[in-house]
A and B are shown apart, each in its own frame.
Chain A
Amino acid sequence: MNERYLRWAVAALALIGAGIAGYLTYTRLRGFPPVCPTSGCEIVQNSPYSKLIGIPVALLGFLTYLSIFATTVVRHPLAKQVGVTIVLVALGFNAYLLYIQEHEIGRYCTWCVSNEIVSAILAPVAIAWLLVSSDRGKSGAA
C-alpha cells in the first residue's frame, strides 16, 4: 500500500483520538461530566485511576495523540519509529485502562472505550506504515 496513504490514515486516526481525549480533558478540567449515555463516564472520570502521577489520564491521552500526529508531519528519519513506539505504548496502556474499567471500576466510559477502539485500529495501521516505508527504503537502496 502507498506509504503516503498510510501516513494520512495514521494522522487522521491520531486526530480523532486527540479529539476524543481533548473533549474528556476539557470536561475534566472544567469539572463537569461528559455527555454520556450511562453514568459510566462520570464514574470512570472520577475514579482514582483517572489520574497518573497526579496528571489526568485524558490529558496524557490528548498529548499522546498529538505527538503521534506530529510524527506524521515531521520529516525526520526517526519520526516513524518514534510514532509507532508511541502508538504501541498507547495501545498497551489503553488495554490496561479497559481492564480497569471492567474489573476494578465495574463501569465503562463510552468516550474512553471509543478512544481505546481508535487506539486498536491505529496500531496495525501504524505498523503497516512503518513496514511499508521500511520496504520502500530497502528496495530503493537496492
Chain B
Amino acid sequence: MKRDSKLAPILAIVGGAIVLVVALVVASQVGNGSKKSGSSEVQIDSIAEMLDGIPQQGIELGNSKAKLTMVEFSDPQCPFCADWARGTFPSLVQSYVRSGKLRIEYRGLDFLDKQFGTTDSEHLLRVAQAAGFQNKLWNVVELEFENQGAEGSGWATDPLVNGILGAVKGLDAGKVLADADTNKVVPMIDAAQKLAQAKVGKGLSTPTFLLMQTGSTKVEKTIVGAQPLSTFTDAIDALLKK
C-alpha cells in the first residue's frame, strides 16, 4: 500500500508528461502539414512573409547576380512538388536566396493533365505565368502548392484560383486572369517543356532541379525528386565553394 501511494504521483507525472509531449508533437506536425483537399478556403500561411523583399523578375526569384541558379521543374498538381515547396523551399529561400547566393527559376510543366484527363495543371500554369508579368509568379506558385488538392480531382476551381490571386498583395488579379486566357503565356510554358527535354530528357519526372553557375548553361548537379533539405544544401554549399 505504501509503495502504491509513493508510485501513484510519479506515474501521474509521467503519464501527464507523455500526454503533453504527444499534444506538442501533434501540434508541430499539424502546423507543418498539408491542407485537406476539397476545400475552397485559401491557405495563405506565411508565404508573403517568406518572399517579402526578395526580387522577382518573371520566372526568377532572387538576385540576378547570384552565383548559383537552380531551375525547378514542377507540375502544380504534383504532390511531391507540393511537399518540397512546403518543406524544403522555405529553408532554401531563407538561407540562400535571401542572402543573394542563389536564384531560382520556375519552369512549370503540364505533366499530369494527360494522365488524369484534367486541365488543372494547364490552368494553374497559365495563371502563374500571367502573374509573372507582374513579377508575382512565386507568390502564386507557392500558394497553389499550399492549397493543392488531390491530383486528378479537379481541385483547381475558379473560386480557389481567385482566392489565391486575391491573397497576393499588389497583384492585379483581373489582369492575371485576362492574360492567362491569352497566348502570351504559351511561349514560357513551351520553353519550360523544351528546356526539360534538352537538359533532362525522356526520364523526366517532377520535381526535378538543375543547379548551375548563373550565366552558364552547363548543369553542375541534377536532383530528382523531393529530396531532403540536406541534399540541396550539400550540393549548393559545394558549388558555392567552387
Q: A residues touching B (Cβ–Cβ < 8 Å)?
A: 39, 42-43, 46-49, 51-54, 81, 84-85, 88-89, 91-93, 96, 100, 104-107, 130-131, 134, 138
Are A89 and B230 in contact, with the CB atoms below 8 A? no
Are B21 and A92 in contact, with the CB atoms below 8 A? yes
Mark each residue of chain B from 115 to 136: 1 if its CB lies under 8 Å from any CB of chain A, else 0. Answer: 0000000000000000000000
Q: A48-B87, A93-B24, A105-B228 are in contact. List 14 more A-B contacts (CB 8 A).
A: A39-B233, A47-B90, A52-B28, A88-B14, A91-B17, A92-B18, A96-B21, A100-B28, A104-B228, A105-B229, A106-B231, A107-B230, A130-B13, A134-B10
- B220 smallest CB distance to A (angstroms): 19
B86 within 8 A of A: yes
CB neighbours of A105 from chain B (8 A): 91, 228-230
Q: How many residues on chain B are close to A (CB under 8 Å)? A: 29
Number of A-B residue pairs with CB-CB distance less than 8 Å in the complex they form: 85
Q: Which 4 A-B pairs have the closest CB atoms?
A: A106-B230, A92-B21, A88-B17, A46-B94
B187 within 8 A of A: no
A-B pairs with beta carbons under 8 Å apart, 5 shown: A47-B229, A53-B31, A84-B13, A104-B228, A107-B229
**In the assembly, what is the distance between CA of A53 and CA of B237, in Å?**
31
**In the assembly, what is the distance between CA of A30 and CA of B91, in Å?**
18
**In the assembly, what is the distance between CA of A104 and CA of B10, in Å?**
33
Are B229 and A106 in contact, with the CB atoms below 8 A? yes
The DSSP consensus for interface residues of chain B is: helix
Given known contacts A93-B25, A106-B230, is B32 in contact with A48 (CB within 8 Å)?
yes
A-contacting residues, B18-55, CB 8 Å: 18, 20-21, 24-25, 27-28, 31-32
Are A43 and B91 in contact, with the CB atoms below 8 A? yes
Contact for A89 among B6, B10, B21, B231, CB less than 8 A? B21
B16 within 8 A of A: yes
